């Protein structure tokens, strides 16, 4: 079985620019012949904030809007609005 969620990771601030990683955290587990557990954490996007701009880039390099990211991952809507 697998359970995954998308979260904002710890922000990194460099002067007036803040980078917020968007990550998918997955937990894979099985109880077939004992207990087997594995987890992964994959970056899927980066939110880049400066005093003059807010930008979002998928890990592929494609630029998307904050609204597009929030539509794709509704759990991020509230935290992104505060960003």
pLDDT at 81 over 80: no
**Mean pLDDT in residue range 13-19:** 94
Instruction: Provide the whole-model pTM.
Output: 0.81
Domain extent listing, the chain: 2-82
Confidence (pLDDT) at 25: 95
Place of tokens 């002067």: 15
Give the alpha-carbon dihedral of 50, 56, 57, 62, to 10 degrees: -120
**Three-state SS for 66?**
helix
Q: Look at 83 and 43; give whichever has higher pLDDT.
A: 43
Confidence (pLDDT) at 76: 85
């Amino acid at each position: 079985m697998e359970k995954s969620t998308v979260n904002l990771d710890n922000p990194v601030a460099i002067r007036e620019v803040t980078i917020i990683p968007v990550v998918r955290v997955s937990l894979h587990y099985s109880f077939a012949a004992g207990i087997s557990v594995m987890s992964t954490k994959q970056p899927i996007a980066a939110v880049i904030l400066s005093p003059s701009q807010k930008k979002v880039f998928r890990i592929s390099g494609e630029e998307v809007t904050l609204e597009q990211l929030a539509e794709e991952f509704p759990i991020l809507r509230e935290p992104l609005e505060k960003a």
